[in-house]
């Protein structure tokens, strides 16, 4: 959340001539509901089930860049599906950067709390072990999407051609 997945994904898709699939956008399209509404009406566990179904379906495709939400790593079956057909990159940023990037939007259901900075720190701490074993970590602090996508492209080429 707030690490630049969407913007970096768009730039990387352009660089690699691949299609970008954003899991959250696909869920909204398939369910006819915004993510905020799914969280509010059905709850986070139901959202995670829907997310897992979507990841399972989308990872059957080829030559795709898949942007999954930060909570997708919490389920090993999601990570297995993502790893089966590709390389998993985890974009990271510190709490202050994430707060600054996400404060411009109101579509972050997990941050609809009195102290979003505290919640970001809690989520990062809870998810850190999952992120660390998810794949290749890319720090997005003080980098623009073009720089980050270029870094990922270089690693991708090394991994797939080496």
Q: Between helices 95-102 and 116-134, what is the axis angle to 10°?
A: 110
Share the mean pLDDT of the chain.
Answer: 92
| Domains of the chain with CATH codes | 5-151 (3.40.50.300)
Structure tokens at 92: 């990271």
CA angle 79, 85, 90 (to 5 degrees): 45
**Long-range contact set of residues 109-116: C-beta below 8 Å, sequence gap at least 24:** 109/35, 109/36, 109/39, 109/40, 109/44, 110/1, 110/39, 110/44, 110/71, 111/1, 112/36
Digit-coded pLDDT (tens) for 94-139: 999 998 888 877 777 778 888 989 998 999 999 999 988 878 999 9
Output the pLDDT for position 91: 94
Cα angle for residues 34, 57, 123 (degrees, 5° grid): 55
pLDDT tens profile 25-79: 999 999 999 999 999 999 999 999 999 999 999 999 999 999 998 899 999 999 9
């Amino acid at each position: 959340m707030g690490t630049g997945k969407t913007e970096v994904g768009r730039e990387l898709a352009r660089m690699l001539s691949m299609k970008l699939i954003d899991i959250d956008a696909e869920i909204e399209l398939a369910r006819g509901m915004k993510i905020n509404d799914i969280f509010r009406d059905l709850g986070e566990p139901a959202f995670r089930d829907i997310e897992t179904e979507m990841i399972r379906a989308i990872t059957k495709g080829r030559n795709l860049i898949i942007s999954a939400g930060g909570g997708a790593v919490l389920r090993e079956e999601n990570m297995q599906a993502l790893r089966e057909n590709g390389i998993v990159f985890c974009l990271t940023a510190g709490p202050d950067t994430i707060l600054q990037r996400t404060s411009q939007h109101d579509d972050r259901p997990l941050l609809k709390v009195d102290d979003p900075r505290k919640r970001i720190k809690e989520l990062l701490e809870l998810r850190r072990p999952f992120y660390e074993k998810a794949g290749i970590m890319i720090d997005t602090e003080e980098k623009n999407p073009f720089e980050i996508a270029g870094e990922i492209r270089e690693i991708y080429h090394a991994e797939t051609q080496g």
